[in-house]
A = this chain, B = another copy of it.
Amino acid sequence: MKKTDVLVIGGSAAGLVAALTGKSYYPEKDFTMIRKEKIVLVPCGIPYIFGSLESSDQNVIPDTGLEKAGVNLIIGEVTKIDPAGKTCLLADGEQVAYEKLVLAIGSHPVKPKWLKGSDLENVFTVPKDKEYLDLGIEKLQDKNKIVVIGGGFIGIELSDELNKRGKEVTVVEILPHVLGAVFDEELALKAQEVLIDRGVKVEVGAGVKELCGNGKVTSVVLQNGTEVEADAVILSMGYKPNVKLAEEAGIDTNELGFIMVDQYMRTRTPDVFAIGDCAEKRDFITNKVIGAMLASTACAEARVTGMNLYKLEAVRPFVGTISIFATALGEHSFGVAGVTEDAAREEGFDIITASFEGIDQHPGNLAGTHKQIVKLVVAKESGLILGGSVYGSRSAGEIVNVIGLAIQNRMTVSSVLTTQIGTHPLLTGPPTAYSIIKAAEMALRKIRDN
C-alpha cells in the first residue's frame, strides 16, 4: 500500500490548484494526485478547440507545475474510498493511504434518458475528456449541419466556434433566449442578436422532443413540431456533479446532488474535502444551495482548501458563491457578477436596478470604440450592490471583476460613488462617465426618488 499525506482525486483546475496551494503551505507534507486523464484540458478552453485552436493539443494544462512542486502523480481511477480506514482503492488494485483527502472529481455532461435518439451515431456531449473530444472533432470534420442543444455559455461558445469553421449551426434552447439562465433578458437578447448576426441559427423557446435517424442522427424534432436537419448533434444541456464515489463512501450530498461542504470546503466526513464542480455551493446572498459550476469558483475553493488542509490558517467568514462569469462572441463581450435582476426578484428582494450605456474608450471618436453597458442590481433599503452585468468589448471580462470585488467587499452604491478609479482614452470609458460609477449614480437617484 502506498502512503501519502494529502491525496487529491481529480486533476482539472480545482485539483491542480488545491495540490499546488497545499504543497506551498505545507511543504513538509507528501502530496499525491490521482487522475484518470493522461493529459488534462484547460476546461474553459474546450469550446475553442472546435474553432479558434488548431487542436486540443493547444489547450492542455501542462504537468510541469506539479512536477516542479514535487506533487506525486498517479494516472488511474479511484474506485472506492474508505474514509474510516483512510484509504483509496484504484481500479488496478493499488491502495493509497492518506491523512487528508481532497475530492476534486468534477462533473459530467447531462445526457437525458428521456431524450429519444440520444444514443444515435454522431450525437455528442462535451465532457472534459481529451480522447472523446478529439474523436468527436474528427467525426465532425465532414459534417455540415450541426445542431447544438442547449444555449448556455458552452453551447453558444461552441456554436460560434463551429460557425467559424464554416459549419451550418443551429442552437436549440428551451428558454425564451440563449443564455437566459445566466443573464437578464436585455443582455441575453443582445448576445442572441450577435450570435445570429455572426451566422448561427437560433431556435429559442423550443424544447427538444427527440433525435431522429436510422443508426446515424439525421434530424432534431422540437416540441413545437419543427424538424431541424442534422448531420451531427451536440448535447450541451448542463452538467451533473460526479458524486458516485463519495456517495458510496457515505459522504453526505445535498438535495441538488452535490457533496456537502462548509466554508472551508470540509465535507461532513473527517479529513475529507470537496471542491469544484462536485462540491456544494451556496449563494452569497440567499445562502441557498445552488448548482453553479465555474472554473474560477473552483479555483477559489481550491485555494481555500489548500491553505486550510491542516489548520484553519486562512480564516474565511462565510461568503458564499458569487458567480462571476463572462463570455465573448467576436468583439462583443458579456459578463455578470452576483445575482441578476430576474433572480433577485424571484427571490423576493426589494431591489432597484440601473443601466448606464457608455463607451469602452474615450473620446468615442477613437477608432474601434465599442458600446459598453453596465447594469447594477441594488438592494433598495441598504444600497448594497447585489449583482451587476456588463456588455462591452474585451475589457468587460475585467469589469465584471471590478463589480465582483465591490460585491465581495459589501460596497453600497453610495460608496462606489466616491470610489477612485483609473481611466485612459484607449483602455477605459471616460473619467466623467465610467460606466460602473454612472450606474451607481443612477441607482442612488432612483433610491432617493422612491
Interface residues of A (CB under 8 A from B): 13, 16-17, 21, 24, 42, 44-45, 47-48, 52-53, 58-61, 294-300, 303-304, 307, 314, 316, 319, 321-328, 333, 335, 337, 362-363, 365-367, 394-402, 404-406, 408-409, 411, 414, 417-428, 430-432, 434, 437, 441, 445
Contacts and interface: CB of A to CB of B under 8 A. Distances in A.
B420 A408 contact: yes
Contacts of A441: 21, 24, 303
A372 to B, nearest CB: 11
Given A397-B427, A427-B333, A441-B21, A418 B304 contact: yes
A421 B314 contact: no
B418 A303 contact: yes
Contact of A419 (B408, B420, B422): B408
Residue from A362, A365, A399 having most chain B Cβ neighbours under 10 A: A365
A32 B294 CA distance: 51
Contact of A409 (B300, B405, B431): B405
Closest 3 A-B residue pairs measured CB to CB? A397-B427, A324-B422, A398-B398
Given A45-B363, A432-B61, A441-B21, A400 B414 contact: no
Contacts of A328: 424, 426-427
Contact of A296 (B47, B48, B421): B421
A59 B422 contact: no
Contacts of A333: 424, 426-427
B427 A42 contact: no
A365 B45 CA distance: 10
Residue from A21, A44, A408, A427 having most chain B Cβ neighbours under 10 A: A427
Contact of A395 (B397, B411, B420): B397
Nearest to A304: B418
Copies in the complex: 2
Contacts of A418: 300, 303-304, 307, 314, 316, 319
12 contacts: A44-B423, A45-B363, A298-B431, A316-B418, A322-B420, A324-B420, A333-B424, A398-B398, A398-B428, A401-B428, A402-B402, A404-B420
A295 B422 CA distance: 9
Given A321-B420, A421-B404, A45 B362 contact: yes
Given A44-B423, A418-B304, A53 B398 contact: no
A401 to B, nearest CB: 5
Nearest to A393: B394
Given A362-B44, A366-B48, A431-B298, A397 B417 contact: no
B397 A423 contact: yes
A250 to B, nearest CB: 29
A397 B431 contact: no
Contacts of A408: 419-420
A392 B419 CA distance: 24
A136 to B, nearest CB: 19
A58 to B, nearest CB: 4
A69 to B, nearest CB: 12
A417 B301 CA distance: 10
Given A432-B299, A445-B24, A424 B44 contact: yes
A447 to B, nearest CB: 12
A297 B42 CA distance: 39
A42 B401 contact: no
B58 A432 contact: no
A442 to B, nearest CB: 9
